[in-house]
Amino acid sequence: MKYQKLGKTDLEVSVVAFGGWGIGGGIVWPDMALAAKDVASLLDEAKDLGINYIDTAPVYGTSVSEKLLGEALKGRRDDFILQTKCSLNWRGDGGNYHYSRDGVTVNNDTSARAVKQDVEDSLLRLKTDYIDSLVVHYVCKTWPVEETMGALQELIKEGKIRAVVLSNSQPADLEEYSKYGHVAAVQEFFSLLSPFHGYDYFDACTKYGTTFQVYGSLEEGFLTRPDFVDKEFPAGDVRGKLPWIHEPIKGAIHNLFDEVLTPLTEKYNCSYANLIQAWTLKQYPNLSLLTGFRRAETMRDTVKCFDIDLSDEDAKLMLEKAAPAQVPVLDK
């Protein structure tokens, strides 16, 4: 495993981060239900592989992901860097409508009051007295950044959180938040099929010493094997809402596999996922690879991406051949 500092903090995190969205289940991830013992086994595997960075959120399964991790972390909380989020909640006490799912209405609220309550709620579900890094899940313009960041800085002083991260944001948001304190990382979508947001963000991350944390590099499985593109998903499943299942993009992805990805997996003797992850890591030096894990074998395969020395020529070829399938704006 490789490690890096999270932004300018003293948090030493594994480059591969454990994504906890999928373990939340619900209508978004309906194909696999995990119990606390299953998540505990995943954390056993993570520790063995050197993965110490865990990401979750209150809304992942409407508290399920946080609660499962809270149980699984008993007795070993300090072995991991724990990251969760604020701003999205279903308390019904204010905020802007964000979505309705799993029987609740979720609002986005970045007011100081809401941010502080989000942290208290997460501390209870995670069964811990501190959160290493707290992510503003969706940057919101309704409340002043000074108010939001002021609350976050107070939480740092109180020892309840140690670092601030932004998600679903823009470079201008990083600039504005950085006026009131250090933003250790931005957590943003970035993949071979939708790389533009990341490319727009890298300069700002360099300027502010901010880690760029990727989510969606494997596009929820669509870049893990050719036949995945032809799968059908039940209503509500996040994978059934992505553009990759529709023509002409679907055909372009098949061409990408046939013409480039399959030959390169043979050349580098690796899985499709490893090839994509190696390409992703090559795009920016201070990059965190957030990957969702529900199976131990996926975790074991992921860490093999560090063994691939992808050439500049092959990385360029992958990007060029992906162009017909690329989508400039993608909000998951």
Of residues 171, 134, 168, 132, the one with CA closest to residue 14: 132
60 is catalytic: yes
Token pair 């499943």 is at which residue? 237
Structure token digits, residue 225? 């094997």
What is the SS3 assignment for 107?
Answer: strand
CB atoms within 10 A of CB 51: 25
Rounded Cα–Cα distance for residues 46 and 35 (Å): 17
Furthest CA-CA distance within the chain: 55
Distance of alpha carbon 162 from its chain centroid, rounded?
A: 19
Nearest 10 degrees: CA dihedral of 87, 89, 92, 95? 20
DSSP-derived secondary structure letter, 38: H
Residues 6+ apart with CB under 8 A from 180: 145, 146, 149, 150, 153
Rounded Cα–Cα distance for residues 182 and 200 (Å): 20
Of residues 128, 204, 195, the one with CA closest to residue 160: 128
Residues 6+ apart with CB under 8 A from 226: 254, 257, 258, 262, 272
Residues 6+ apart with CB under 8 A from 57: 20, 21, 65, 66, 84, 85, 88, 135, 137
Q: Which of 60, 177, 272, 284 is catalytic?
A: 60
Positions annotated as catalytic residues are 60
